[in-house]
Structures are given as C-alpha cells and as structure tokens.
Structure 1
Amino acid sequence: MSAPPARTPGLRGSIARRPRLWAAGAAAVVALVLGGGAFAAGAVMAGGTTASAPPVAVSAPLRTQTQTPTPTPTPTPDPRAHPQAVAAPAPVRTCSVAGLSLDGRLGTFLGAVRNATTGEVLFDRGAGSYARTASVMKVLTSAAALAVLGSAHQVPTTVVKGANPGEVVLVGGGDITLASGSANIYPGAASMLDLAAQVQAAWAADPSTAGTPITSIVLDASVFSGDRWQPSWNRKELYDGYSSEVTGLQVDGDRAEPSANVSTRSENAVLTAGQAFAGALGVPGATLAEGLAPAGAAQLGQVLSAPLSTMIPDALQRSDNTEAEMLARLVAVELGVGNDFAALQTAIPQALARYGLDTSGLVIADGSGLSDDNGVSPDFLTRLFMKINAHESELGIIYDGLPVGGVSGTLAGRFTDSPAAGSVIAKTGWIDTGYTLSGIVNAADGTVLTFAFFALDDVDDSARAALDALTTGVYECGNALSNS
C-alpha cells in the first residue's frame, strides 16, 4: 500500500486539494467586479457626471439617486453680421405724359392718376382743385343712389280715387322713364297703358263708380318741389333735346320722340304726362290740373319702374341728364333732407360718405353735371373709382355700366385707333365750358389705374381728342408713369 501524497502547505496546497471549489469562487469574484463596474457606468450615463458610484453589495436593493440639474448655458452672441431682408425694389418711373398734358386743346387742365391697388398717386396736376365735372357727375349720383336706395329699388307711379265724382289722381313717384305707350328708350320701362288698364278695371268693379265716366284727372307731381329748371343751366339744353325739366311726373323723359336719345322736350312735362294718361284711359277730353291726392284715397292702380340695377347703366351709357336728375332727387327724398335742387348739397355728400370717402369739399348743384356750379376734385374721383374698380358694396353695377373706349356708350366712337381701345372704362363729360373724362385704365403692363382729367374754360370739341391721347399715354406707361 502506497503512502498518501505529501500536503503542500498554504494557499497553493488548498487550491491543489480542492481545485473545483476554488475555480467556482474565482468566477464569482469576477462576476461581482464586472457587475459593480456596469452599475457605476449606468450611474454616469443617468446622472451626466463622471463620479464613481460607491460600492454596493450585490444583495442590496437598487436606490434612486437624485442628481443636481445642470444649468442651461447662456447663448453666446454671434459676432458675425446677419444680412437684412432685402426690400422690394421701388418702381422705376420714367414714363412721362407731361407733354400730352400741356396740349393747348385742354385749356385749363386738371388731372390725377392713381394706382388702383396701392392708392399711390402717380400723376398730379391740380388734383386737389374742385371744379365742374360735366356729365362725370352722373357717377357720383349713381353711387349715391346705390348707397341709399339700393340696386333693387323701383319707382312707383300710382292712380288713386279723387275727392270729386268722376275724378282720379295720377300720382308721380318721380319715375321719368314711364312709357306713354308700350315702350320707349328706357329699358324695362313701365307702361302708361298698363296703368290705365288697371284703373279702368278698378273703376268698373266699384259699385260707386261703375258705369260713370272719368271726367277729371288731377296731376300730383309733389314728390319733387322747387325750381324745375336749375337756374345755372343753359335753357338751350331743353330746346336742343338734351334734358327735360325736373318733375315728379312725366313720361318718356318728356321726349317728343320716345325712342330717340336726343329729342325735343316740352315746356310742361307734367301736363304732357296727363295728356298721355287721358289718352290711354280713352278720355282725351278729361279736365287736367295739377293738385294733390286726398289723404287715404283708395288706390286704383300702380306700375313700377325698372330697378336701379337697370336704370343706372342706362343713364351712364347714354349720359341721360333727366334720368340722373331723377336719381339724385330720389336720394334726397329717401334721406329726408328735402326734395328740391338745394337738397342735393346735403344728400349726395351724405350718401357718398357711406363709402368712407371725405366729401367735405364737394359742391353739388345738380345730379347730371349740367351746372358750372358743381365742384368735384380729380383726386376725389380717383378715390371713388378705386372703390368702383373693387366692386365695393354694389358699385360693381357702375363698373359694368360704364362706357368702354372704342366699344360702347358715349365712348363707342373714341379710342377706335388707340392701343387703349377696350381698356378704358370711363364716363365722359361735356358742357359749354368744359370736357371731362374719368374712370379706370387697364394699362398695358397689367396695372389698373384710376384717373380723372378736366379740360376747362376756353375749349372746343378738339379737347376730346387731346383727352383721349393723354389717356392713351397713361395706358402705355402703366405703373412706370412719372409725375414729371
């Protein structure tokens, strides 16, 4: 039997005697060291510091550690210069119409041109001066009527029972477009024949009047009062056929020829209307006299004019003086400021102020522009036409109704050989002491401009050609138009 092996003293002997046990213990120590390192690394990542975590026994539970937040650093200003936003280049305005504006045919010239989008004044020759406008005044009147009455407004003509046996009262509401027959120059006009038929039917249906004749017709034109011919007007306008007297009751604009634009007018438009009604009733021998309708009288018939949406374009296209005076007077009546010529000075500015315009300098003597006493500035007109171009409120009715150069209305025969043909939308004006043109230009460069040009004092028909040449120059310049 062999002797047992000799023991190696110390640690090496112990390892030699139990090698498996020591191997397992060494592995445990390595695991403990590695685990502690991983925990410390996790603490650094979570807390954002490099401090080592204290030794933690493997069996101890993990604890949440509170970390002090790191202050947000104050940004350091960038010393480098930053480029500023580049402003849009200003238009280069080198296109001049100064020479055209000095044309001697223009007499005393006033004018203004404005960019319709920005409102910038591009051209100014006495633009703030107030002067007569001739028929350009009809644009102000039309705008006032739309502001106060509205585009759907219709004007009545009514017949009521009179105070005496056999008597009827023809009550004018101011409608000068009423046709004596079935039609006249005014589109959509009401007919005196229709009114007479209503009256005859009502007269026959009433037991108190059935079978008795109508022997007397009272003519009530009291809706308008005062002078029937503006004192500053030249009376030849009536005899030449350009305007009638301003009355609350008339037919065909008091034309001798109902379908003619220019036609002889009578000396008594109310009486002429009464005669037409008597004829329509079939009682041409009835007595005619002006008077007032009895209060509360029974209505026998009524007809309505075309709406203002029809009447305004007609008045602008043909420059109808009588139609314009009717519209102006109806504005005054509606506002309750009077029913004569003097009332227009209050009524028209008050109505136009509803568009946000400064009307303090306006002088309004009439609604048609026949008077030399009217005062409107080119600047005011360019501002009003900006609103018309924008179709503000119901002003699109004016835009659509204005004559177009070389195409329609009073501008049909003008601009025919001009590059601006079809691009000038404007109102013409002509009286003995002035020619005017004001409106909108769709310029060659796509810019929309508003303009107003007055040729006043010692002028003749040649002023029209000079105005058209100047307007064509504005069309060609567009937004490059210079004030010099």
Structure 2
Amino acid sequence: MEEPVQTPEPGTAGGAPRGGIAAVFNRHRRAWLIAAGALVFVLLGSGAVFAGTQTGANEPAAASAVNSPTATPSPTPTVDPARPVPAEATTASRLRTCSVAGLAADGRLAEFQAQVVNASTGEVLFDRGGTTSSRTASVMKVLTSAAALSVLGSDYRATTRVVTGAEPGQIVLVGGGDLTLSRLPTGQEPFYTGAAHLDDLATQTMVAWAADPANPPITSLVLDSSYFSGPDWDEGWARTELGLGYMPEITALMVDGDRNDPTRSTSARSEDPIARAGQAFADALGGQLTISQATAPAGAAQLAAVQSATVSTLVQQSLIVSDNTLAEMLARLVAIENGAGNSFSALQAGIVGGLAAYGIDTTGMIIKDGSGLSPNNAVSPAYLTALFLKVNAREGNLGVLFDGLPIAGGPRGSLSYSDRFAGANSAADGAVFAKTGWIDTGYTLAGVIHAADGTPLTFAIYAIGNVSSNAKIAIDTLATGFFHCGNNLSNN
C-alpha cells in the first residue's frame, strides 16, 4: 500500500483561509474529528466484510484499474503428520433396519452361530461367532463335494475290476472304492441312480475266462479291498448308526452301500460288507466257489470292469438325501487321488488340500470324516458363506453342487419333509437352497437364499450343544427372517 499524502493542518502556513467551511470546521473541530473517525471505521469495516465474502467464495478480488499490486503466491498446504489423510474416501455403510435379533435369541438354537453375506457385494450383513470353527453335522458334505469336484472332476468314475488270481481257476474281485455297485439284476434300479451291476461284471468275467481254452473252471474267488485301509469305522461315530441304517463300515469293496434292502435310503447294514459283496458275486458266477480275502497279484491280467456313475451324479445324490455312504466314498477317493492316503486319517490333508483351489482360508478347519457324522469335525460358518459365494456363482464345477442342494418346499430332498419350512416359514419356499445337518449335538443349515428383495444371500446357521429336533424349526424361522430382510438385514 502507498502512504497517503500529508495535508497541512488548518491554521498553519499554506492552510485554507479561516472563513467559510474552514471557519465552521474550526468552530466545531471536535465534532468534525469524531464524525470523520466514524466514517473511516465504517469504510474499513465494509472492506473487511467484502474481502471476507470474496475469500469465502474462493474467488479472487477484482484487480484495481489504477494500481495492480503483485499477487502473493498461496502457500502450499501442509498435512499434519498426526492426522493422516486416506488415499481414497471411504464409503459409509448403509443403515440397515431389518432386525432378526429376536429370532436369533431363540433358546432352541442353543450355542448359536451364524453368518449371512450379500452374495452380490461380499458384504457381511449378519455375524454371530461366524469365524469360530465348530461341528458341521451333514453340512460337511458340501466341503466333501466341493473337494471331489476339484480333485476328481465331475466326470470321474470309480472302477471295480476282476483280474486273474495267483492259482489256476482263481479270479480276484478288486474293489475300487465304488460303494454303489449293486447286486440287483441289470434292469432293476437300486437306490443309487446309474449304479453298475454285479451281474454285468460276472458276465464279462465268464466271457473273458472262456475265451482262453487253457483256463480250467473257476473254482476260487479272492476279494481284494486294499484300495481303502482301516479302520473301517470312525471312532467318533455311534455304532448304533449301523443298525439304524445310516452308515456302513467303509471298505473299498461293497454292494448297495451294504444295505439289507438295496432299494431303500435307510436300511440296516451288515457287520461284514466285503463278505456280502463276495457272496453276491459268487452267486452271479453260479456259486460253489471258495471265497477268501487277499491282495491281487501285481500285474494280473484284467478280465472285466464296471464303473460307477459320474462324480456329478454321486455329489447330487449325496447332497439331496444326505447320503453318508456316498460322502465317505468321495472323501476317500479325494484323499487317494491327491496323494494324502487311503484312511480316515488322510481326510484332513485330503479334503483340505482338495479345497485349496477355491482360495478360501482353511485355518482352524478339522476334518475327521466326509459325511459330517463325527462330532469332531470343525468348520466355521464364515468358510461356508465364502464357499457358497462361489457355488452361487457356479464357479468351475460348483454348479453341480448347487444343483444338488435341497430346496425349501421342493419336490424332493431333506428340505421337502413336512417338518421343514412349514407354516409361516413356507414364505421362503423355493427361495432357500441349502444343505441340512443333524447329529445328536448339533443342527445346521447352510446355503443360498434368494431374498424377497432380489438379493442373493449366502448363509450358515449352527445350533450346537444341548439341542433337540425343534432346533430345526428355529433354524428355519431364522432363515425365513433372512429371506424377508434381504439386503436390509441388520447386524443389531
């Protein structure tokens, strides 16, 4: 700013005459000085408001037409190191108002765990102990199926063979882990869809044997079940499951899942599935054979072979009716195929290794069997919701798994029973695609929900501990709550 021009004070040399305005000013000098001061204050104040208004609007003040002073550069803003600024602004989560807190507090759920994820965004909408690994019951079949689809592939088939024995007139029936092989005549369908038949294997064997005139009559049958190693029964399984018809002893050679009735899902099993299979094959060959158990000679010539249905068929049948036998068959074949071993103790490395391709953290996962009958399995709800994100997207072969899930109110499967999604819970019929689970100390349900608002949800619900069958109702009610809430589901 330039300094103002100094004016001589009135009454001094060079000042204005005392007459006229000067005289008036001189007579009222004090009043004039007060008025002038007030005027200057008003002018200065107006300038400050104007300047403030311009600054607040982030617009430069108009330059003077007479004097254009050099603009002072704006200083570079500095960031307080104590208050870091994020590279990108974070997006606030929406406020969700649909609460299922009352449903989740149902005492029938006992030691309750659950997680729900928006399958479109990956956002966790609801979580109660979701990262804690716990027993899964038959929801374990989802993991077994996913591992089988990854390691074996959807077109894999288990093979049962007949080879020549070490002695004249001797043949060996070699189990290849096909627990669905049926003793029913070809043309009569057993419980397992697309199963191979022993009579077909017997016919092939006799034709191949007769093709060599040097062969003597078949008099001896050896049974080779060494493809799986023992024990045949997991230590965590209740032995009553055998008589109740839910689980056989697990051997590489059996027929019809070792059922007394090959056409029924639930049917009592025997104490010796290998012997039952051997006798059925001997009968198909005409009987009167000496039967023993041993390992086939190395390099023995193959006489006949039959194959199971594909893994895609086995997976879907295992899931829809929660078949334990098929799940254990797939689990053992997975462990063998990826080099983990051929026993129950190989399933941890076998199945976890088979799940590796999906890129989901398996920390804390414990695998004791393939069916979920063991109470010692442990998988977190969070693992299941993450896996079902991929199932819902039908990644790789996982569309096969989705197509095998029971559907609430569906025409078949474990969610079509009269005690599932009944009454008000029928609102979710056709919208819940999920695997059920039940053991004495837990009820579970996990899968995909197509919510009422169109949001796809993945979910897992565990009711663990001191539970009874009415836990299923509480689980279904909570799942129906998730269905109604959709993306408005609150975590409160």
CA distance in 2, matches of 1:290, 1:426: 42
CA distance in 2, matches of 1:80, 1:175: 82
Alignment of 1:190-339 (within 5 A): 190-209=196-215, 212-283=216-287, 285-339=288-342
TM-score by length of 2: 0.80
2:133 is the counterpart of 1:130: yes
CA distance in 2, matches of 1:376, 1:237: 23
2:187 is the counterpart of 1:184: no
Please state how far the C-alpha of 1:416 moved relative to its aligned partner.
4.2
Runs of 4+ in 1 over 4 A off after TM superposition: 78-81, 86-90
Gaps of 5+ in 2: 1-56, 61-88
Alignment of 1:9-158 (within 5 A): 79=58, 90-158=93-161
CA distance in 1, matches of 2:195, 2:477: 38
CA distance in 1, matches of 2:113, 2:293: 46
Match of 2:350 among 328, 347, 350: 347
Matched pairs, number: 401
Please state how far the C-alpha of 1:337 moved relative to its aligned partner.
1.3
CA distance in 2, matches of 1:412, 1:238: 25
Relative to structure 1, is the Cα distance of residues 470 and 214 closer, same or farther in structure 2, using a 3 angstrom cutoff? same
Q: Paired residue for 1:422?
A: 430
Counterpart of 1:195 in structure 2: which amino acid?
A: L
CA distance in 2, matches of 1:90, 1:415: 32
CA distance in 2, matches of 1:390, 1:227: 38
Please state how far the C-alpha of 1:112 moved relative to its aligned partner.
0.6
Q: Paired residue for 1:65?
A: none
Please state how far the C-alpha of 1:387 moved relative to its aligned partner.
0.6
Q: Paired residue for 2:472?
A: 464
Alignment of 1:428-439 (within 5 A): 428-439=436-447
Counterpart of 1:471 in structure 2: which amino acid?
A: A
CA distance in 2, matches of 1:405, 1:382: 18
CA distance in 2, matches of 1:90, 1:362: 31
2:451 is the counterpart of 1:443: yes
Cα contact 1:406–1:412 (8 A) shared by 2: yes
Cα contact 1:349–1:360 (8 A) shared by 2: no
- What's the CA shift string for 1:139-166, capped at 9, x where partnerless? 0000000000000001100000111111
- SS of the residue corresponding to residue 130 of structure 1 reads coil
Structure whose alpha-carbon radius of gyration is higher? 1
CA distance in 2, matches of 1:444, 1:415: 16
Gaps of 5+ in 1: 1-77
Counterpart of 1:468 in structure 2: which amino acid?
A: D
Please state how far the C-alpha of 1:287 moved relative to its aligned partner.
1.6
- Superposed CA RMSD in Å reads 1.7
Cα contact 1:157–1:302 (8 A) shared by 2: yes
Please state how far the C-alpha of 1:92 moved relative to its aligned partner.
3.0
Match of 1:399 among 399, 402, 417: 402
Cα contact 1:91–1:479 (8 A) shared by 2: no
- SS of the residue corresponding to residue 176 of structure 1 reads coil
- What's the CA shift string for 1:365-391, capped at 9, x where partnerless? 000000011000001110011010010
- SS of the residue corresponding to residue 419 of structure 1 reads helix
Cα contact 1:405–1:416 (8 A) shared by 2: no
- SS of the residue corresponding to residue 227 of structure 1 reads coil
- SS of the residue corresponding to residue 414 of structure 2 reads helix
Cα contact 1:130–1:375 (8 A) shared by 2: yes
- SS of the residue corresponding to residue 428 of structure 2 reads coil
2:385 is the counterpart of 1:363: no
